[in-house]
Amino acid sequence: MLARSLSAVRYGLTQVGAEARAVLHRLRRRARPLVLVALIFWALAVFGGLSWTLASVALVAMAMVIMGQEPSDSESDDDFTSSKSQGRFTGPGNLDKEAAASWRPLLDAIPDAVVALDQNLNVMHFNALFQELFPKVRPGQPLSHVSRNPELNEAAERGALSNEPVVVDLFERVPVERRISATVSRLGGREGRRNLPLLLISFRDLSEQDKLAQMRADFIANASHELRTPLASLRGFVETLQGPARDDPEARARFLGIMSSQANRMTRLIDDLLSLSRVEMRVHLPPRGILDLNEVAAYVAQALEPLAAASKVKVIVTKSDGPVRIRADRDEIVQVLQNLVHNAIKYGREGGRVEIAVSRVLDGSPPSPRVLVAVADDGPGIAPEHLPRLTERFYRANASASRDKGGTGLGLAIVKHIVIRHRGELRISSVVGKGSTFSILFDELGSART
């Protein structure tokens, strides 16, 4: 009870103190006009014959009028309210800075690109993301100098007059094609207030979102196309077997062989799609197992020996000294090497050679020790324009050649995702007419990075 009373008294005293300081502050700010008025009334009383009583009453009335006046622009009302609400009073010079400091960090913390504009649509403040978007922006610049985009400038002008946020889509072609959504919001009153922005424009880059939506649509279109082709062929053969070839045992045997290979192709495609989705789901889970890359390379070479023999390809394994251990999921690394060696056999030279080499290298800057497994062939190679897109789903450098060889176009997409999960790096190099090399870099177990 006593404590509560004491704290109430302390609170009251704090409030009185704050009020007294506020009055003192006002007195200090209006000292000049008050002194001037006092001098005039003193002169009127001394030299003009005005009675001292009348002069005192008139002086008090004038002083009340002066003290009761709205603070002028230079006195910054915002500063006053903010200081009052904080229960402390700082010097007038610091107040301006304080008001500005109170909202600027908010902009810096927004995870989108934002810029604050004053009443004249000049830049007051912007965050680092906005500077990334408009590298030449400077404080004080008119918006029309920051961006010449007519839609953006028009939206800012409309936003300054509107109570609702104005949203516009901006399309940029240079340096890269992208779609950015800009939202213009008016802050506070129509005319704005000194030291506070009138408009806030926030920008959101929608290009990545558009790209993902496009990729999803392409993926579904590609997957259904890949399934539709063998399905159509199967249906055609079924109809032929039911009709014209019903009594032709020779044709039936041939057609059943093709039908079986088409069904196998569909099974492979579905297996690859499932495998890709499994890998994608686990991409954020770090692998737990440990394996020796020398051993896995030898295992894959042996497993694909019959396939290599059928194409008269020689598979050579070059091991590194001692075991090369990495933290990995063995089944996934086997799948990576199988896909790469299978490609090298399929798209390499018939009667050529495929080399699987495991080595330790110094890589990166500053150089750090890493392990590398490279699969190289001496086939026709891949034209440079295809290299950046090879790991996209269903992308093939030569679609008909790939289909003829039973390819679904998903092998390298699976490789890419497995490598990402293992924090590795896939590098592809190729010289047309000489051959291709697919290399993967991993951190060796026990190195500083693992």
Question: What's the rounded Cα separation, in Å, for the pair 444 and 321?
Answer: 13
Q: Which is nearer to ligand ATP, 115 or 336 (CB)?
A: 336
Q: Pick from 98, 377, 443, 444 the residue near ligand ATP by CB under 6 A.
A: 377
> Residues touching Mg ion: how many (CB under 5 A)?
2
Cβ atoms of 435 and 379 within 8 Å: the answer is: yes
Question: What's the rounded Cα separation, in Å, for the pair 63 and 56?
Answer: 10
Question: What's the rounded Cα separation, in Å, for the pair 444 and 421?
Answer: 15
* Residue 418 binds to ligand ATP (criterion: CB under 6 A): no
Taking the complex as a whole, the smallest distance from the CB of residue 291 to ligand ATP amounts, in Å, to 22
Q: Pick from 79, 98, 118, 272 the residue near ligand ATP by CB under 6 A.
A: 272
Q: Which is nearer to Mg ion, 147 or 402 (CB)?
A: 402
Question: What's the rounded Cα separation, in Å, for the pair 17 and 230?
Answer: 88
Taking the complex as a whole, the smallest distance from the CB of residue 402 to Mg ion amounts, in Å, to 8
Chain CA centroid to CA 370, Å:
29
424's contact among ligand ATP, Mg ion, none, with CB below 5 to 8 A by partner kind, is: none
* Residue 409 binds to Mg ion (criterion: CB under 5 A): no
* Residue 436 binds to ligand ATP (criterion: CB under 6 A): yes
Taking the complex as a whole, the smallest distance from the CB of residue 261 to ligand ATP amounts, in Å, to 14
* Residue 117 binds to ligand ATP (criterion: CB under 6 A): no
The span of 140-148, 246-254, 372-380, 405-413 binding Mg ion (CB under 5 A) equals: 405-413
* Residue 411 binds to ligand ATP (criterion: CB under 6 A): yes
Let me know if 281 is exposed, middle or buried by CB neighbors in 10 A (0-12, 13-18, 19+): exposed
Taking the complex as a whole, the smallest distance from the CB of residue 416 to ligand ATP amounts, in Å, to 9
* Residue 79 binds to ligand ATP (criterion: CB under 6 A): no
347's contact among Mg ion, ligand ATP, none, with CB below 5 to 8 A by partner kind, is: ligand ATP
- List all residues 6 or more positions away from 27 whose beta carbon is below 8 Å from its beta carbon: 34, 67
Tokens of 421: 């999960």
The span of 175-183, 299-307, 408-416, 440-448 binding ligand ATP (CB under 6 A) equals: 408-416
* Residue 294 binds to ligand ATP (criterion: CB under 6 A): no
Q: Pick from 262, 343, 430, 436 the residue near Mg ion by CB under 5 A.
A: 343
Q: Pick from 159, 348, 411, 435 the residue near Mg ion by CB under 5 A.
A: 411
Binding mask 219-258 for ligand ATP (x = CB under 6 A): ----------------------------------------
* Residue 262 binds to ligand ATP (criterion: CB under 6 A): no
Taking the complex as a whole, the smallest distance from the CB of residue 258 to ligand ATP amounts, in Å, to 19
Binding residues for ligand ATP, per CB under 6 A?
272, 339, 343-344, 347-348, 377, 379, 382, 390, 396-398, 402, 407-413, 436
